[in-house]
Amino acid sequence: MRENKMWIGGEWVGADSGKTFAVFNPSTEEEIGQVPLGGVSDVDKAVEAARKAFPIWSRKPQAERSKLVSQIAEEMRKNSKELARLDTLEHGTPIDVANMLTMWSAEMIEYAAEAARTLMGDVISAFPNTMSYYRREPVGVCGLIAPWNVPLMMMAAKLGPALAAGNACVVKPPSINSLIGLKFAEIISKVDLPPGVVNLITGPGGSVGNALSSHPHVDMIAFTGSTETGKAIIEASSRSVKRLMLELGGKNPAIVLEDADLDHAATILAEKQCLNSGMTCGSPGRIYVHENVHNEFLENFVAAMEKITVGDPNDPETAIGPVVSAEHRDKIEHYIKSGVEEGATLVLGGNRPTTAPMDKGFYVMPTVFTDVTQNMTIAREEIFGPVACVMKFSSENEVLDLANDNIYGLCASVWTKDIGKGIKYGNELRVGSFWVNQHNHITTALPWGGIKESGIGKEGGVEGLKEFTTLKLMCFEMPQ
């Protein structure tokens, strides 16, 4: 694989800086590769290549575009084992999960290719003797900035619909996961796309990401990541009033009512809390449990968390591997320390593992706090790790106020045998996605995105495809 080259204008090129940076294995802390240190001048070249390619690509018939985009999915499946290997190597994703994410990523691109064939405008009856309708058109040059928690899936979730809708793209993979980004570019290079339709640049968000966000010839930014970075992108993009699709943070409430199936709720919420080592924006960051069933639920939940296997991500028996970096491990441990200092009760985890192979690498064990109150740091901020906060409530009005009392509004769930009550809760919770007796349960066809400081717009499904289009009003006066 071309580890020291970026994909710009249909060619493999080095960074103008002539420099590279290291990528590390979070399981062993060993360096595993060097990738180009891209910068502002590289972004300029990629954007210019995309601008030249855009009219060629956007004017192709939809059937031809969809066919070529589907070929990317086919090439991903052919290279699925290598993609999964890289995800495990540089991210610590357990190998079985990495295989699943790779196939899901290919499915996302294939779905976008097929769904694009269904996009239609709307006829509007506005004036007599006049035909008026909306026409859907591609936005233009799209900067796609992916996060490090599920890098391949997030690149695919953006690139598939952007390409299928007729846009040209500049992709910035996360620095920590640059190897899988370069492999993705290698796969795309095997498809007969016009040069410059897809460009991929490696480098830090502070330079490459900011250059994309502020570039006057980039028409749209699609970003997944922290709310803090999302705000910086909004500020940078305001200089040229770009279209934005931002999928940001979450501190998601899961509400366990008195009549819930407690064992089922505990099992699913433990799995979702530890999915991807807790580095999932949709994880249940706040678990509110009715006081009458709190102790029983907590016992079941701790037992479910204890069953989750932490270990070598190359072992098929492993459920969660390390977190992505030493920096992120330290951040999670800071939150655990703050929980103890602010008076929460630590009932599971909280310490680094010391037995091999986890005596090396950036591991965080499944951790559970109880006696958590609403104003504690761990109850208000996104931890992004396998750390659960279990909280008591006594009444419906109280828990709705508590659940809505947060800057985020990504998703929520309610656990109850009364579906009517579940629907009522769903109507009151200020979030972008909601489940009854499930949590963070998504598929390719379902749109995903939050409100408040959890983001702007939707990703996935037909609604996510529409984000990469604009609506043009067309009016024709009919001859008399």
- For the chain, which domains are there? 6-248+454-474 (3.40.605.10), 253-443 (3.40.309.10)
Give the Cα separation of 222 and 220 in Å (integer): 7
317 given a catalytic annotation: no
pLDDT of residue 127: 86
Residue 233 to residue 206: CA distance in whole angstroms: 10
What confidence score (pLDDT) does residue 234 get?
97
Helix (H, G, I), strand (E, B) or coil at 101: helix
Between CA 268 and CA 445 the distance in angstroms is 22
- Locate tokens 């996009």: which residue? 119
> Residue 73: which of 18, 118, 122, 113 has the closest Cα?
113
| Ordered DSSP codes for 415-473 | E-S-HHHHHHHHHHS--SEEEES-SS---TTS-B--EETTEES-BSHHHHHHTTEEEEE
At 37, which helix (H) or strand (E)?
A: none
Which three-class secondary structure state does DSSP give residue 254?
strand
Give the pairing of strands 455-456 and 123-124: unpaired
Residue 129: its pLDDT value, please?
87
Look at residue 3 in the predicted model and tell me its pLDDT.
Answer: 53
Q: Helix axis angle, 151-164 relative to 80-91, nearest 10°? A: 130
- For residue 170, what are its two tokens? 């500049």
Query: How far is residue 292's CA from residue 160's CA, in Å, rounded to a whole number?
Result: 47
Residue 275 to residue 97: CA distance in whole angstroms: 9
Print pLDDT tens along the chain (480 aa): 445 799 999 999 999 999 999 999 999 999 999 999 999 999 999 999 999 999 999 999 999 999 999 999 999 999 999 999 999 999 999 999 999 999 999 999 999 999 999 998 888 888 888 889 999 999 999 999 999 999 999 999 999 999 999 999 999 999 999 999 999 999 999 999 999 999 999 999 999 999 999 999 999 999 999 999 999 999 999 999 999 999 999 999 999 999 999 999 999 999 999 999 999 999 999 999 999 999 999 999 999 999 999 999 999 999 999 999 999 999 999 999 999 999 999 999 999 998 888 999 999 999 999 999 999 999 999 999 999 999 999 999 999 999 999 999 999 999 999 999 999 999 999 999 999 999 999 999 999 999 999 999 999 999 999 999 999 999 998 887
- Cβ contacts of 74 within 8 Å, gap of 6 or more: 106
Is 64 exposed, middle or buried, given 0-12, 13-18 or 19+ CB atoms closer than 10 A? exposed
Closest residue by Cα to residue 166 from 219, 208, 217, 209:
219
- 3 CB-near residues (< 8 Å, 6+ apart): 33, 34, 35, 179, 182
Looking at residue 50, the DSSP 8-state letter turns out to be: H
Please check whether residue 233 is in contact with residue 246, taking contact to mean a CB–CB distance below 8 angstroms. yes
Look at strands 141-145 and 220-224 and give their pairing: parallel
The active-site residue, picked from 107, 186, 247, 382, is 247
d(CA 27, CA 407): 33
- Residue 247 designated active-site: yes
The catalytic residue among 142, 169, 274, 281 is: 281
